[in-house]
Structure 1
Amino acid sequence: MAYRESFYRFLMTQRDPDSTDEVAQFANDAQHDQTFPKQEQDYEKLSDYLELNAGYLPSMTIFDRAYEMYREKMSY
């Protein structure tokens, strides 16, 4: 089985403190989330965590968009 990077690791590649893009802002904020599940790849587990713990995420549609970008990058 090929190695697949975690969602968090992918998300960190989207950081940009000067960007107004919602995914970049999500990445910037997630970087400071000490309890973010950094090794997780599973959509449901990540979604559950974010719904309960990520007050910095204004809409789950931003996570959905970021996760779709992650899936596209991981399907090689």
Structure 2
Amino acid sequence: MDKSFYHFALSYRGKLNADDFSRFADAMFLDHSFPRSAKDFEKISRYLEERAHPVMKVSVFDEMWDEYIRL
């Protein structure tokens, strides 16, 4: 995990046929208060539960996190 979760998730942005991951990534990109340098599950999860846009669902984050930690 050399890069932050934010930078990992950016790879899902801009799909022509949007899915949950791409919608999450697009909303995350537009959210200027997202913890962009975070590599910590708890910090990001807390942010999503307390302050994130409804498109950034915690269930989608959990799936994306599983992909992220496999790197």
Match of 2:36 in 1: 38
TM-score (norm 1): 0.83
What is the percentage of aligned positions where both structures have the same residue? Answer: 31
Residue 53 of structure 1: how far off its partner (Å): 1.0
Instruction: Give the partner amino acid of 2:9.
Output: L
Please tell me the root mean square deviation across aligned C-alpha atoms, in Å: 1.5
Equivalent-residue separation in structure 1 for 2:53 and 2:34 (angstroms):
12
Moved over 6 A (4+): none
How many equivalent residue pairs?
Answer: 71
Larger radius of gyration: 1
The normalised TM-score by structure 2 is 0.88
SS at match of 1:64: helix
1:45-76 Cα deviation digits (max 9, x unpaired): 00000111112336311000011111112xxx
- The residue matched to 2:12 in structure 1 has which SS? coil
1:17 touches 1:28 (CA, 8 Å); kept in 2? no
Distance 2:6 2:17 in 1: 19
- Residues 1:38 and 1:58: Cα distance change in structure 2 (over 3 Å): closer
Q: Deviations over 1:2-49 (max 9, x none)?
A: x71000000111112423310111001111001000000000000000
- Asked if structure 1 preserves the Cα contact closer than 8 Å seen for 2:4 and 2:37, the reply is yes
